[in-house]
């Protein structure tokens, strides 16, 4: 049963570089990321956990509007500097989707050289807007064995996280999840659909510090 296996989520405590955690478990959650977990419940209903994570982390009101302005500036820079990525402003956060073909060769989890350049540019922006938590999700199409796809999606999410961490983005900001083939966004019966399903998604959300700052500003 292809839907019978859900993504394995193993909480990993990090004391050093994110790469040290790459050998633990099959699917991973790395970092604090509580909002991503709550949002995942919303995301299951919405059909996309990255969107759900952002909605689940929202504070609303005037504070939410201030956070939204912070995210508007960040999203504009990401859209300007990244090639081949879809950037969407969602609520009080940002969703960035990379087609896996831009990042990886087929059935591989090692980043292509052009992908490293793209992630280097993203790392600069993430450092500039440091008061965020980042959910990194890996997804595959349905070809091949389900367990293999789950592991491949996890390794791809890990590769993206490692690349960002190597450019001094704090790895404790990251939450990593591999979903394998369980969250398609298009029809796996067509090549175009399978290409859309092979992707890495990032959800960028306000962290606790930014939320407190926004609430203080909203109060006067």
> Model pTM greater than 0.85?
no
Beta strand segments in 18-131, E: 28-30, 85-90, 93-99
Query: Which architecture, in CATH terms, is 25-218?
Result: 2-Layer Sandwich (3.30)
Q: Tell me what pLDDT residue 33 has.
A: 43
Q: Tell me what pLDDT residue 11 has.
A: 30
Burial 174-188 (b: 16+ CB within 10 A, else e): bbbbbbbbbbbeeee
Q: Tell me what pLDDT residue 47 has.
A: 57
How many CB atoms within 10 Å of residue 69?
Answer: 12
Render each residue's pLDDT in the chain as its tens digit; 220 residues. Answer: 444 344 333 333 222 333 333 333 333 344 434 444 444 444 454 457 889 889 989 999 999 999 999 999 999 999 999 988 999 999 999 999 998 888 988 889 999 999 999 999 999 999 999 999 999 999 999 999 999 999 999 999 999 999 999 999 999 999 999 999 999 999 999 999 998 899 999 999 999 999 999 999 999 7
Q: Which tokens hold the place of 185?
A: 């966004």
Q: Which tokens hold the place of 136?
A: 């990194």
C-alpha to C-alpha distance for 213 and 120, rounded to whole angstroms: 28
Q: Tell me what pLDDT residue 4 has.
A: 38
Please calculate the CA angle 76-160-108 and round it to the nearest 5 degrees. Answer: 130
Going by the DSSP 8-state scheme, the letter that residue 111 receives in this structure is: B
Q: Tell me what pLDDT residue 84 has.
A: 87
Specify whether the CB–CB gap between 188 and 60 falls below 8 A: no
Enumerate the domain spans of the chain. 25-218
């Amino acid at each position: 049963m292809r839907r019978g296996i859900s993504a394995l989520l193993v909480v990993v405590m990090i004391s050093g570089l994110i790469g040290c955690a790459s050998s633990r478990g099959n699917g991973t959650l790395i970092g604090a990321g509580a909002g991503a977990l709550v949002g995942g419940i919303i995301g299951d209903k919405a059909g996309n956990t990255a969107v759900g994570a952002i909605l689940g982390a929202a504070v609303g009101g005037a504070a939410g509007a201030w956070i939204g302005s912070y995210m508007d500036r960040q999203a504009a820079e990401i859209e300007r500097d990244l090639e081949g990525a879809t950037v969407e402003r969602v609520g009080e956060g940002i969703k960035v989707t990379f087609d896996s073909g831009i990042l990886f060769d087929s059935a591989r989890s090692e980043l292509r050289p052009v992908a490293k350049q793209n992630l280097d540019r993203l790392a600069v922006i993430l450092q500039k807007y440091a008061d965020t938590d980042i959910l990194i999700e890996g997804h595959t199409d349905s070809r091949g064995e389900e367990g293999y796809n789950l592991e491949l999606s996890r390794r791809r999410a890990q590769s993206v996280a490692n690349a960002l961490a190597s450019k001094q983005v704090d790895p404790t900001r990251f939450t990593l999840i591999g979903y394998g083939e369980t969250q398609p966004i298009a029809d796996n019966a067509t090549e175009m659909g399978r290409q859309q399903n092979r992707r890495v998604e990032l959800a960028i959300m306000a962290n606790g510090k930014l939320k407190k700052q926004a609430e203080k500003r909203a109060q006067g």
